Every structure is written in structure tokens, then in C-alpha cells.
Amino acid sequence: MNANMTLAALLEEEHQQIDSGIEAFVSAENGDDRTGELTTAIQALRRHIYLEEAMVFPSLRAAGMVAPVFVMLREHGEIWRTLDELETGVASGVDRRELLTFCAQLTGQLDSHNMKEEQILYPQTDGVLTGEATAELRAFLASGELPDGWACAQARA
């Protein structure tokens, strides 16, 4: 991870890495099994949602971005459910066509969600997080792991 990159740029980079993992699976040639990349992208996306909800959104909300954060949390809930379906599909070995349907749903959700984060929320992040919160987020981006059993706010029953 580049210490010279802004938090906004680092968060955007995660979006791109996750998108490429999904794309690798979707665009795989016949017989080329890229399920591992899809699984990695699913795990990376859950971790990304965690770090946003635990380490980014609270500061943005405190700085007055209540409505945008509310919308992002709702969308995380929708994305989380798609991830559950996709993961269950991979684990139970459903056919590729079905997994591609879930991938298309996920890509549609992410296109709209990530664009809003990148245009509205991320540009505020570097200015709003305290030094301590910034250090915590940078450390987590470099090597943090999703806590066992964690689910996003809108997925907790």
C-alpha cells in the first residue's frame, strides 16, 4: 500500500480490485475456472463493507453526511444479500449460468453504489477523519481482517 495515496484513492483502488475479480470470473473462457478470483472478490467486498461501516462512515455521519451514509448502509444490505446468494451458489456448485445471474446483479448494485461513494463520500474522507482514525484505517487497509461472523448493519436481523 502506498503511504502517499489519499484515503479516497485507496478506497477507490479497493473498488477496482473487487470489480476485476468479478470480471475475471464473468469473462472467463469456456473451461477456464476463475471461481477462486470470484471467491477472493466476495471476501474482499465483505471486508471493504466492514471497514466502511466501522471506520469511515461514523466520522462522515458525525460531520453531517447523515443522509448519504443512510443510503450507503441500505445499499450495503442489498449487496450483502447478493453476496450471500452468490457464496451459497458457489458452495453448492450451482451451474455457471446461475452464478452469472448473481454476478450481473452484484455488478449493477456496485456500479451505482461505488459511483456515489467515489463522488460524494470518499472526497470528504481525508478531511473528516482524525489523525488517529486515519492511522487506524490505513493499518486496516494494509492488513486488517474481517471479524468472524460480522454482518453489515442492514443484514443484522
Min dist CB 44 to Fe ion, Å, is 11
- Tell me the window of 16-24, 104-112, 117-125, 131-139 that interacts with Fe ion (CB under 5 A): 117-125
Stretch that binds Fe ion, among 51-59, 61-69, 88-96, 141-149 (CB under 5 A): 51-59
Nearest to 53 by CA among 157, 130, 156: 156
Distance between CA atoms of residues 13 and 32, nearest Å:
26
Per-residue binder mask for Fe ion (CB under 5 A), 10-49, x = binder: ----------------------------------------
In whole angstroms, give the CA distance from residue 122 to residue 119.
7
Q: Minimum distance from CB of 55 to Fe ion (Å)?
A: 12
- Which is it for the CA torsion 101, 42, 45, 13, positive or negative? negative
Task: Output the CA–CA distances (angstroms, integers) from residue 136 to 13, 81, 150, in the order listed.
Answer: 18, 28, 18
Among 10, 117, 128, 152, binds Fe ion (CB under 5 A): 117
Considering only 31-39, 85-93, 112-120, 137-145, which stretch makes contact with Fe ion by CB under 5 A?
A: 112-120
> Cβ 11 to Fe ion, closest distance in Å?
6
Contact (Cβ atoms closer than 8 angstroms) between residue 121 and residue 72? yes
Cα-based distances in Å from 61 to 32, 69, 91, 118, 129: 44, 6, 37, 16, 11
Closest distance to Fe ion from the beta carbon of 77 (Å): 11
Note the residues at the interface with Fe ion (CB under 5 A): 52, 117
